[in-house]
Amino acid sequence: MSYLIRLCLLAALACNMAMGNLLSPLAAATRWQAQEHVERSSASQGFRGLGGLKWSGGLRLSAALHLRAGSDSASSSATKPKKKKKKATKAKAESRSVAAMVKTGFKKLRPATRLYITGALALTLLATFGIVNPNMLALDPMAALLGLQFWRPLTSALFLGGLNMQMATSLYFLGMYGQELEKDRGTADYVVFLLTQVILLSVLAPLLGMPYTSSSVVSAALWVSCRRRPMQKLSLGVMGISMEAWLVPFGRMLIECLQAQNPIAALPHMLGFVSGHFYHFTTRVWPLLGGKDWLQAPPKMKKLLNGKAAKKGKKKGPALKKKKKKK
């Protein structure tokens, strides 16, 4: 029995060894398949976020593309603030250049024209922001005489209304043609012109029910300046239109009538033409007929307001006479 048991044990061991040798390749194959399955499943889970690729080389390629796209987006996001900064600097430079142009142009204006434009802008801004009531600036003869509100004729000639195109065109024509009139006549005579216009219009405007005379003052300055050179080509300031000087006041009147869409808007301009022609006749036409220019500024006023220009003219006169004598 013991011998048989031993034989059975030996046979069992032999069978076990034989089965192990036979099954070892199968076990290795199953182990390799299991490892490959695990690798594929992990790769597929990693690749699904990067486009669904299922091979190891694709992982590196997609990762590289992802990193490159991230760097490109970072660089583009870095360049966007630079572009914004450049645009901001350009806008600041343009605003500074416009402000510098306005400042230099304002400084080049003659004293009386600069003072008139400053007063007109100040009153317009005060009335626009509600600091001053526009009714207190209107021309009212009864309030001016009985109520001792003597500022009304002056403020009526300065107040150009609200911030609109009419005010802008009035300032443009006053700066262009009032400046020319002041250059021709001198600052003192231009101040006399403004005072005569304020007085005349303060008498005529209430008869026509006009509370403000500023537009008439601008039209009068434009009329007198254009009458001094009637056939010269001048710009109307609209779309590059140019015409003879004597037609420019009527062109401005037509523009404002079209803006207001009302023919009554021509009334202040016609009143300005009348008062301006009165000054032009007394200072230009009447002296040519042998009369006297009785609206000329007095000598003391010319010395005070014309200033250095009159002194330079006096200095140049004797020097030229000496040179002629030497010759």
pLDDT, tens only, 33-42: 555 554 555 4
The answer to whether the beta carbons of residues 124 and 166 sit under 8 Å apart is: no
Q: What is the mean pLDDT of residues 13-28?
A: 46
Distances (CA, A) of 64 to 55, 57, 67, 69, 71: 15, 11, 5, 9, 11
pLDDT, tens only, 152-202: 999 999 998 878 888 888 888 888 888 888 888 889 999 999 999 999 999
Architecture of domain 107-306: Up-down Bundle (1.20)
Indicate if the pLDDT at residue 227 is higher than 70: yes
Domain ranges, ordered by start, for the chain: 107-306
| Whole-angstrom Cα Rg for the chain | 47
Q: How far apart are CA 278 and CA 19, in angstroms?
A: 136
| DSSP label of 243 | E
Above pLDDT 70, what percent of the chain?
A: 61
What does 297-309 look like in DSSP terms, one character per residue?
Answer: PPHHHHHHHHTHH
